[in-house]
Each structure stands twice: as C-alpha cells, then as structure tokens.
C-alpha cells in the first residue's frame, strides 16, 4: 500500500511538504525553547508532580530550601499545576515592584474563590478590584487611617486592653483571645462605626470564627482541595470552612442591615455608610451597572474584618512572647519608655524618640514572619524574569520567608536581633528587605494603620506590664515554633503580666 502511495507524484510532493513543515516546527521549537528558557526545578512525578518534596505543614521552609538548590526563580508542580516560586529580596522586589503590572493579578484558587467569590478588595482581579481598592483607600483616608483619628481609636482600645491585663493581678494567662478582641475592635470602629464589648457573645463568635477560618485555609487538607477540588465535600476542614463562611456572611449582613436602617446620607459614620451612600448616589443617577453592589460590600467588609484582626493581633502575640523569651531586650525597651515617655499616655509622635522600641517591633515582624507567602499571584501577560520565560496566567508564589530571612540582606537572619534596625549610633533605620506587608500592587492596604496600631498597643503594654514566663517555666522552655494557618501563630502558652507601677 505504501508503495502505491509513493508512486503518485502528488503524494510524494505532499509528503515532502509534510516533512519540511515537521522539520521547520522542530527547528522553531528548538529555537523557541532557547529563547523562552523556563525556570529550573526538580523533576516532577506523573500526576503528583513535586508534592512529595514539599512539606504541606511548612511549605515555605520546603520551598526556601529548594531555592538554595535551583536559584531564586524556579518552578515546581503541585500535582498537575505548574507554579513558579520567587525567592530572595532582589527577585521578589524585581517582580512585585519593577514589574508590578505583569505580576499584578491574584491567582484565584478554589479556596480563594470560596472565600471571596470574585468580590471584595483583597482577593479579586479586574475592574471590580481596581474600583474597590480605589474606594477603600479614599474612604479609609477620609476616616483618618494612619492619622490622628485612627490614633485616638487605638489609644481608646489600649485602655480597655490594659484593664483586662490589670484584672489578672500578675496571675498566669493566655490572653490571645483578648488581644484578638482589641485588634478587631479597632477595625470594627472604622468598618461598623462602633466598638464591641469584649463579653459580647456575637462579637466573640465572629472573632473566634474568623481566626478558625484563617487557620483552616492554611491546613494541609485545604491545600489538597486546591489541587483536587472535587475532594472538597469529603474533607472535614473544607466543610467546616464553608459553614464558617455562611455564618460569617449572615452576621455581617445583619450588621449591614442595621446600618442601612439608620443611614443618614449627610452623616457618614463608617466604611459601610460610605459605601451605601455611594451606592445610593449612583442609583439616583440611574447608574445601575456599577461595582457598588451588595456582594462587593459584604466581601469587602469580610476582608477588612479578617485581615485587619488577624495580622495585627498575631504580631502582637509574638511580641509579648519574645519579650518573655528575651528579658534583656524587654528591659531595654522599658528603660527607653520610662526615660522618654514616663507615665504619660503614649502617642504616635513618640515613635521617633523611641528608636529601640520601634526596632523591636520591626524585628518582631521580620522574625515572626507571620505571612510566609504573599497572596498567590498570577502573571497578566507573558513575561521574562531574570532570563526565564513565564507564561501568562502562571501561578507565582512570592516567598516572603526568603526575603525576611535573606542572608544577603540581614546580618543575623535566624536570630531575634533588633540591631537589624539600628545604626551605630542607636538611631532607627529602615531596611529595604523589610517586606512583611508584601510590595507592589497587592501590598497590604492598611500598612500605615497596622504600623500605628502595633506601636501603640506594644508600647502601651510594655509601659504598664513586665511579661515573664509562669512559675516553674524558664525562658528556654518557651516555644517559638509556630502553628501553621493562613498566618504563622505562636503556640498557645501561659505568660504572666506583672504590673510595673
């Protein structure tokens, strides 16, 4: 049969064209692969990819170790999904700051979609995200985020938190929930226009559910769900997560409804009011196809409440644990506070005169590394980074652990060392590799507010209390290994808060 085909001049010509096209394709692919050199990485297994090389209980450490072998830009396969990992300050900055547009999208994994459903501020893309981000920044500035108005809210909440610690009378405590309540109340004042009593059962449930939800997101089974979504209904953590989300949405909707019923367009009390007033203005102007709809409001509030509570509270918990662990550092902070501020109410303006206290707070953020990854990014177009080709739509993990522990940037990255932020004269210095809030288009919107909150809470607590291990426990016994969740939390441990005056 083959002989018959090749006896035909037309068939021979067609076959020749086919061979020529095949050779051209192979040559093009060869040249293209040279021009479009993909990042290196470990050889993946069929179906499983590199899952067996990544510890899902501490994926950031596994990837940090892989970066030492494969370089600052490398790729792995999580199952069948290709992921590019960026490690080290220089590389992460190049991507998020210098090529911010190309690395500016969020990778919408199944659990992120379940959390936000494409709405809100933190975990969305496109025009809706851009408009919500613009509106949120403008509104929060109007409410004094990072300025005097928010300073007064934080100072007021400091008073409530100090009273809670005073009631302990030096007895052992695990006040992690109280710290959560204090941090959440600052966010609540901006978002809902009011603070809640620490004993309010609805408020307690909201805060504790939020913490549990973020812990579930970081669990190994949820990471498995991201790779194999149909497993969701069979995973207890996913079922618990979905129930928490439904309960959270119901509570937030009730608070929004209460504010709607008392809304006065002439008096803007909080973020929700500002959103409702803008929505009504657009509807009165017959603009109905806008981004100001109920779902964007709901998920924006969930974003504020969740992120605003968890990150600040977690960092504050670490700071108190470090003070008990390293008493010589605590003594030096309190000496500076006594010398500079005395018994006066601490103000944000005092920060410039408290370089060591400020350095300790920054070192807490660096060393605790509570967010070892920035939110997962996705490339908006084909892009080349450090000579490696990354295709549009590729998931990109920016490894903040590798930035905050970069041996090329920090003198002693694996030690708690406030001198990282002090010059030879003891003055506070900024460090470019200090990126706990990430960088670029997706950096934390509330960075200035979070810095103010951390300083005022930490300095106020250290002004009033000395934190020590409980009786029978030494500083060496205090455990600094984190508990994995969406953030890295300290293990629940007892401390004592001894009144200083």
**Annotated binding residues for heme, as ranges?**
444
Which tokens go with 86? Answer: 């960026």
- Neighbouring C-beta atoms of residue 370, cutoff 10 Å: 23
CB neighbours of 88 closer than 8 A, spacing ≥ 6? 67, 72, 402, 403, 406, 408
User: Taking a C-beta distance cutoff of 8 angstroms, is the pair 280, 265 a contact?
Assistant: yes
| Interatomic CA distance for residues 6 and 14, integer angstroms | 10
The burial class, CB within 10 Å (0-12 / 13-18 / 19+), for 62 is: middle
Q: Which residues are annotated as a binding site?
A: 444
Nearest to 411 by CA among 397, 398, 423, 426: 423
Of the candidates 423, 281, 420, 297, the one whose C-alpha atom is nearest the C-alpha of residue 360 is 420
CA distances for 448 relative to 69, 151, 455, angstroms? 36, 11, 11
Residues 102 and 381: beta-carbon distance below 8 Å? yes
From first CA to last CA, the distance across the chain in angstroms is: 102
Give the H/E segment covering residue 208. helix 201-217
The continuous run of DSSP H or E covering 236 comes out as helix 236-261
Beta bridge partners, 467, equal: 497
Nearest residue to 195 via CA among 237, 156, 147, 227:
156
Closest CA to 298 of 111, 116, 446: 116
Calpha distance 38→262 (Å, rounded): 57
Region of residue 469 (left: phi > 0; alpha: psi -120 to 50; beta: else): beta
Could you tell me which residues are beta bridge partners of residue 114? Answer: none
Question: Which uninterrupted H or E stretch holds 78?
Answer: strand 73-78
Maximum separation of any 2 CA atoms in the chain, in Å: 106
């Amino acid at each position: 049969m083959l002989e018959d085909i090749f006896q035909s001049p037309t068939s021979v010509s067609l076959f020749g064209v086919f061979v020529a096209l095949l050779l051209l394709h192979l040559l093009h692919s060869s040249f293209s692969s040279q021009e479009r050199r993909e990042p290196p990485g470990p050889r993946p297994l069929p179906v499983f990819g590199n899952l067996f090389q990544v510890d899902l209980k501490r994926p950031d450490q596994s990837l940090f170790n892989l970066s030492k072998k494969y370089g600052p830009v490398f790729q792995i396969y999580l199952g069948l999904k290709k992921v590019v990992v960026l490690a080290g300050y220089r590389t992460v900055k190049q991507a998020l700051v210098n090529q911010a547009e190309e690395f500016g999208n969020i990778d919408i994994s199944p659990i992120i979609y379940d959390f936000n459903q494409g709405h809100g501020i933190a975990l969305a893309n496109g025009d809706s995200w851009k408009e919500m981000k613009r509106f949120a920044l403008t509104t929060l500035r109007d409410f004094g985020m990072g300025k005097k108005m928010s300073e007064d809210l934080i100072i007021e909440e400091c008073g409530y938190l100090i009273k809670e610690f005073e009631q302990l009378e030096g007895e052992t405590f695990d006040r992690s929930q109280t710290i959560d309540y204090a941090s959440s109340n600052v966010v609540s004042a901006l978002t809902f226009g009011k603070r809640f009593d620490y004993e309010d059962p609805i408020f307690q449930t909201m805060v504790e559910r939020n913490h549990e939800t973020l812990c579930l997101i970081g669990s190994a089974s949820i990471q498995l769900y991201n790779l194999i979504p149909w497993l969701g209904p069979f995973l207890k953590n996913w079922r618990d997560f979905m129930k928490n989300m439904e309960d959270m949405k119901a509570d937030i909707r009730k608070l929004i409804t209460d504010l709607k019923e008392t809304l006065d367009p002439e008096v803007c009390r909080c973020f929700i009011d500002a959103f409702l007033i803008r929505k009504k203005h657009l509807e009165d102007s017959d603009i109905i196809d806008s981004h100001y709809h109920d779902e964007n409001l709901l998920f924006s509030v969930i974003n504020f409440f969740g992120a605003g509570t968890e990150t600040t509270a977690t960092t504050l918990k670490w700071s108190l644990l470090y003070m008990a662990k390293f008493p010589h550092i605590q003594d030096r902070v309190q000496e500076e506070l006594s010398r500079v501020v005395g018994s006066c109410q601490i103000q944000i303006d005092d920060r410039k005169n408290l370089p060591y206290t400020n350095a300790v707070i920054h070192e807490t953020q660096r060393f605790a590394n509570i967010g070892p990854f920035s939110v997962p990014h996705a490339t908006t177009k084909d892009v080349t980074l450090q000579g490696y080709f990354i295709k549009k739509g590729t998931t990109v993990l920016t490894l903040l652990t590798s930035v905050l522990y970069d041996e090329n940037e920090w003198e002693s990255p694996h030690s708690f060392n406030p001198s990282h932020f002090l010059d030879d004269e003891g003055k506070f210095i900024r460090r470019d590799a200090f990126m706990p809030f990430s960088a670029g288009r997706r950096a934390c919107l509330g960075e200035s507010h979070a810095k103010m909150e951390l300083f005022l809470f930490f300095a106020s607590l250290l002004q009033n209390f000395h934190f020590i291990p409980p009786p029978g426990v030494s500083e060496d016994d205090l455990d600094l290994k984190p508990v994995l969740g969406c953030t890295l939390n300290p293990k629940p441990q007892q401390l004592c808060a001894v009144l200083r005056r």
